[in-house]
Chains A and B, each alone.
Chain A
Amino acid sequence: MNVVVRADAAPAAPARRRRRFSRDFLLGAGTLAAFVLLWKLVHASGLFPPWAFPAPEQVVTAFVKTLRSGELLTNTWASVERQVVGVVLAAVAGIPGGLLLGASPAFRAALLPICRMIYPIPGIAWIPLAILWFGIGFKSTVFVIFFTGIWPILFNTMAGVSTLDGQYTDVARVYLAPRMFYVRRVLIPGSLPFIITGIRLTYGVGWRVIVGAEMISSITGLGFMIDDARWQLRPDVMVAGMITIAMIGWIMENWAFDWLERVTIERWGMKSQPR
């Protein structure tokens, strides 16, 4: 009898989850619709002059138009390319750096003070110097993303190493794991929940700073497109650019990083709370 009851009970959980998912989806979509409606109402009220406040449908038109002309795609691609290169560079430097800082007290003593001094400098503050060094365009923007983005990944990786269960290290020692083998098979995967959080944050701050950087030091990119629309009094293009940024951020957060977690730490049962 017990077995029968269990077999019945098992599929109930996913069904409930699906029902909750659709309810949550409706709630989210409803709020979004209400927001667009409010936006439309504010526009219709004439509270703001039309050259400073676009209607939702104007934004849609601007979106379609810039998409058709290729302006939107070229600029999006320019931003995404800088973003990806900047984040990858930050990860390539930040992950090994964080591993070293976490594993070696000497490295921490030597490097942590200077890191803590540079870290509070906002990414935007690097832009003028970056322009002097690299000129306008790709390199200076990537430099700014790198210097803004390296901190979360560096500090998170460090935290991951220092909070790694000491018993894992004991096991590695008992079974005579050589140093690099230990790093590859124990230290990195064991710190992965922190490393992924670090990359998430790095991606987030990078994407936030890129628009500012492009407004000042670039003639392409979504930041440039938004800033350029100011001179043409085209708030609809500005908002279309902003929405594009939001969508790319949403896709990365909900698909790329969630996927990365699903195939690693979730599969290993290392994710602490289900979100």
Chain B
Amino acid sequence: MVEIEALAKRYEVDGSDIVALAGIDIRIDEGEFVCLLGPSGCGKSTLLKIVAGLIRPSGGAIRIAGRPVTGPGPDRAVVFQDYALFPWMTVADNVEFGLEARGVAPARRHAVSAELLRAVGLADFAAKYPHHLSGGMKQRVSIARALAVEPVLLLMDEPFGALDAQTRYVMQQELLRIWRQYRKTVLFVTHSIEEALYLGDRVLVMTARPGRIKAEIRVASPRPRDIGGIDFAALRRQALDLLSEEIARSLEQEARAASL
């Protein structure tokens, strides 16, 4: 179980205090798939990075299985938007990075990467370098790298944001299959309503800055979901209404900042 309590993040820009996140309370059950949906600049990626331990919060607390988060830990892995694979390592070496860092013996590492690359459909690409792969394939490698360290919580920061629509759809299905197979808890950041409703057990809609949790949408329908279908129209409407207000506010903020 992941517990986020009264989390806040403030930072200073040119002497003025900016509140990025305020009063964030989230509980995620084990094995749950939770999507964070929000307008750009609402701090959803910042929130994810705080959970990852890459950024320190200004206030509040995070506990994973009861243990407080003070930095990166073996219980979490991150899949970044632009893959963040190391171009100088082969696909297999990239997948094994976390294990190598932990001093796992080569034979054991290779076995893990071989199994995971098979699971994401890239068994034939183990010896290739990332620049030979397409965007979708790179993101599969990045997911395999995250799974290799057997995290409790998988953090995904708009992982399919850079992909074209078809690849994106395929990757969403892939991810659900992997999620079922490996039974991870997932916190998934996105700005796409469709993606959030297609993937999540719950969708948390965030406000424009300062980022708060504005509403929670429970998606009870079984997967695979037909989000273009009639029964999803109401949920889409609801999410769109919630998000539109925040996008408008976020644009207003940007316009005000630009006119200063």
Contacts and interface: CB of A to CB of B under 8 A. Distances in A.
User: Interface size for chain B: under 10, 10 to 19, 20 to 34, or 35 or more residues?
Assistant: 20 to 34
B76 interface: yes
Interface stretch (A83-91, A172-180, A203-211): A172-180
A167 B80 contact: yes
B86 A192 contact: no
Interface in A240-272: 264-265, 267-270
Chain B contact surface mostly:
loop
A189 B88 CA distance: 7
A267 B132 CA distance: 10
Contact of A167 (B73, B82, B129): B82
A175 B80 CA distance: 13
Contacts of A170: 49, 54, 78, 80, 84
Contacts of A268: 87-88, 129, 131
Contact of B88 (A175, A177, A264): A264
Given A267-B129, A268-B129, A174 B88 contact: no
B69 to A, nearest CB: 12
A174 B77 contact: yes
Contact of B54 (A168, A173, A265, A270): A173
Interface residues of A, number: 24
Contact of A171 (B49, B53, B76, B97): B97
B159 interface: no
Contacts of A189: 86, 88-89
Contacts of B72: 173-176
Closest 10 CB pairs of A and B: A269-B131, A175-B98, A189-B88, A177-B101, A167-B84, A268-B87, A268-B88, A174-B78, A171-B84, A173-B72
25 contacts: A165-B84, A168-B84, A170-B78, A171-B78, A171-B80, A171-B84, A171-B86, A173-B72, A174-B72, A174-B76, A174-B77, A175-B72, A175-B102, A176-B102, A177-B97, A185-B86, A185-B100, A189-B88, A190-B88, A192-B88, A265-B88, A268-B87, A268-B131, A269-B87, A270-B87
Given A171-B97, A268-B87, A269-B129, 7 more contacts: A170-B49, A170-B84, A171-B84, A173-B54, A174-B78, A175-B149, A176-B101
